[in-house]
Amino acid sequence: MRTPIIAGNWKMNKTPAEAKVLVNELKPLVKDANATVVICVPYVDLCTALKETEGTNIHVGAQNVHFMESGAYTGEISAAMLKEMGVEYVIIGHSERRQYFGETDATVNLRTLAAVKAGLTPIICVGERKEEREAGYTNALVEYQTLIALNGLTDEEIKNVVIAYEPVWAIGTGLTATDEQANETIGVIREAIQRKYGKEVADTVRIQYGGSMNPKNVKGLMAQPEIDGGLIGGASLKAPDFSLVVNYDK
C-alpha cells in the first residue's frame, strides 16, 4: 500500500565537509532499503548532499522554505531555488521552528502551498507539547495543525504530502511515545484527513512518527498499521544507526 518513508533531519549539524563523509558512509548501508530514504540537511550542505547522492536511492530535502516567490526577505530561501538545485523534500513547521523562530500554523500553511506549487514534497510536522497531552488536547491539536497546514491544496496534492507526527516531549529527550500512543495519534490525524478529503486521500498520505526514534524502537513503531515511517533526528547523524532504522524490516 503506502511505501514507508524514513527521513533524517540533521538539524543544525554537519559542515559541508562533514556532510560529504556522512553521505558516503551512508550510501552502501542504505542502498537496498525498501523504504524511501531522505536526508534533510542544512541549506549549506544541499549542494554536497545532492552531488554525493547522485545516482543513489537517497533523496535530499531542506529543513525550511520561505513562502514568498522572491523579493526583499533577507536570509530566506525560496521553493524555486530549492527545486532548481534538485532538492525534492522540505521539512515544514518543525516544532523547533515553532518554538524558537515564531512559526505559526498560518505560516506552515503558506510554506506548504509554496513548496507544493514549486514541485517539492513537504514533510509537515505536527505534535503536542507535554502539557497539552496532559490536559487532554492532543487529538484536537494535531487535527487542527494538520488541517490548517493542508488548507488550499487539492486532493491530488495532499496525496503526495508527508506528515510527521512528532510529540514535542519526545524530541531529543530519549522519551518515545509508546507504539500504541504513536499509532493512535497518527490514526486521529488520518481520520481528520478522511473526514475532510475522503478515504482515498487519507489512505494514500504517508504519516511518519518522529521523536527519539532509533534502531532499538523502530521495529515496534513500524509494526503499527498507521505508522508509515520516521523522521529521525539524533540517530540520523551516525551512518550505522540511521541505516539500522532505514533497514528496520531486514
Catalytic residues: 94, 166
Any contact of residue 166 with ligand 13P (CB under 6 A)?
yes
As a whole number of angstroms, the distance between CA 76 and CA 165 comes to 26
Cα–Cα distances in angstroms (integers) from residue 102 to residues 11, 94, 99, 106, 197, in the given order: 17, 11, 7, 11, 29
- Smallest distance, ligand 13P to C-beta of residue 166, A: 5
Any contact of residue 39 with ligand 13P (CB under 6 A)?
no
Q: Tell me which residue of 4, 6, 25, 3 sits closest to 14, measured CA to CA.
A: 25
- Smallest distance, ligand 13P to C-beta of residue 119, A: 23
Pairing of the two strands 206-210 and 121-126: unpaired
Any contact of residue 233 with ligand 13P (CB under 6 A)?
yes
Classify 201 in phi/psi space as left (phi over 0), alpha (psi -120 to 50) or beta.
Answer: alpha
CB nearer to ligand 13P: pick between 147 and 213: 213
Cα–Cα distances in angstroms (integers) from residue 25 to residues 12, 18, 112, in the given order: 19, 11, 32
Any contact of residue 171 with ligand 13P (CB under 6 A)?
yes
Cell numbers found for residue 5: 518513508
Any contact of residue 217 with ligand 13P (CB under 6 A)?
no
- DSSP conformation class of 226: T
- Per CB under 6 A, the segment of 17-25, 101-109, 152-160, 230-238 that binds ligand 13P is 230-238
Any contact of residue 211 with ligand 13P (CB under 6 A)?
yes
Any contact of residue 232 with ligand 13P (CB under 6 A)?
yes
Footprint (CB under 6 A) of ligand 13P, residues 69-128 = 94
Cell numbers found for residue 113: 502551498
Q: Which residue of this chain has its Cβ atom nearest to ligand 13P in the complex?
A: 233
Beta-strand ranges (E) seen in 166-219 are: 206-210
Tell me how many residues contact ligand 13P (CB under 6 A): 14
Any contact of residue 163 with ligand 13P (CB under 6 A)?
no
- Per CB under 6 A, the segment of 100-108, 142-150, 165-173, 215-223 that binds ligand 13P is 165-173
Among 172, 200, 216, 223, which residue sits at the site for ligand 13P (rule: CB under 6 A)?
172
8 A C-beta contact, residue 50 and residue 87:
yes
Residues that bind ligand 13P (CB under 6 A): 9, 94, 166, 171-172, 210-213, 231-235
